[in-house]
């Protein structure tokens, strides 16, 4: 009986400690705009390999950029951008000081341009940035000029009236 009482007391202390522990922050909903800036079609998929947008057409002759589309995501999610053999991932995370962060772990050589700074990444490298609301990142295959493969990527905070639509779109994509 004494052992059972000790186990019960231990369980009660652990339950109290769990109540006092801060809960993990809820994933923040936001949207990522992806624009094809290359000369070949661009596929955008989520971490499960499901299409996060329709395939984005390349720029037509005389146009600077091709199609673009929003994908609803949460902090902690990942999108894969693929054009031919060029591939880059866009990881999302919550910044400690608030706001959204974007990281670009790359599978093939890639340049990342943001706010006038250009960083060239080797295959397997990763670069992370604070992502100002609507601030564009240009990620491109550096092996050709002009870039035949690449994308413009920007993160946007959602207005309250968009959050239910975003949650529904994420759930529908997961269920597909």
Residue 20 has pLDDT above 80, yes or no: no
In the predicted structure, residue 24 carries a pLDDT above the cut 70:
no
Give the distance from CA 159 to its chain's centroid. Answer: 18
| 3-class secondary-structure state, position 147 | coil
Q: What's the confidence (pLDDT) of residue 91? A: 92
Give the per-residue pLDDT at 36. Answer: 92
- Number of residues written out for the chain: 176
**What does the pLDDT read at residue 56?**
94
Residue 45 predicted with pLDDT over 90: yes
- How many angstroms separate the CA atoms of 27 and 93, rounded? 9
Torsion of CA 105, 107, 109, 113, to 10 degrees: -30
Tens digits of residue pLDDT in 108-130 = 899 999 988 999 999 999 999 98
Tens-digit pLDDT profile for residues 63-119 = 778 899 999 998 889 999 999 888 899 999 888 777 788 999 988 899 999 988 999
Using 50, 70 and 90 to split pLDDT, how confident is the model at 22? very low
Average the pLDDT over 36-56 and give the result.
Answer: 91
What lies within 8 Å, CB to CB, of 80 at 6+ separation is 43, 44, 45, 46, 47, 49, 87, 88, 89, 90
């Amino acid at each position: 009986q004494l052992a059972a009482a000790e186990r019960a007391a231990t369980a009660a202390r652990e339950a109290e400690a769990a109540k006092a522990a801060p809960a993990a922050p809820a994933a923040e909903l936001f949207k990522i705009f992806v624009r094809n800036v290359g000369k070949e079609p661009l596929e955008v998929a989520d971490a499960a390999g499901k299409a996060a947008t329709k395939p984005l057409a390349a720029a037509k002759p005389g146009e600077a950029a091709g199609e673009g589309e929003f994908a609803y995501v949460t902090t902690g999610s990942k999108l894969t951008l693929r054009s031919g053999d060029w591939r880059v991932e866009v990881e999302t995370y919550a910044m400690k000081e608030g706001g959204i962060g974007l990281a670009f772990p790359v599978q093939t050589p890639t340049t990342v341009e943001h706010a006038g700074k250009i960083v060239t990444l080797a295959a397997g490298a990763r670069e992370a940035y604070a992502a100002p609301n609507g601030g564009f990142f240009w990620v491109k295959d550096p092996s050709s000029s002009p870039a035949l493969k690449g994308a413009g990527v920007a993160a946007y905070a959602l207005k309250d009236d968009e959050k239910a639509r975003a949650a529904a779109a994420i759930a529908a994509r997961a269920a597909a």
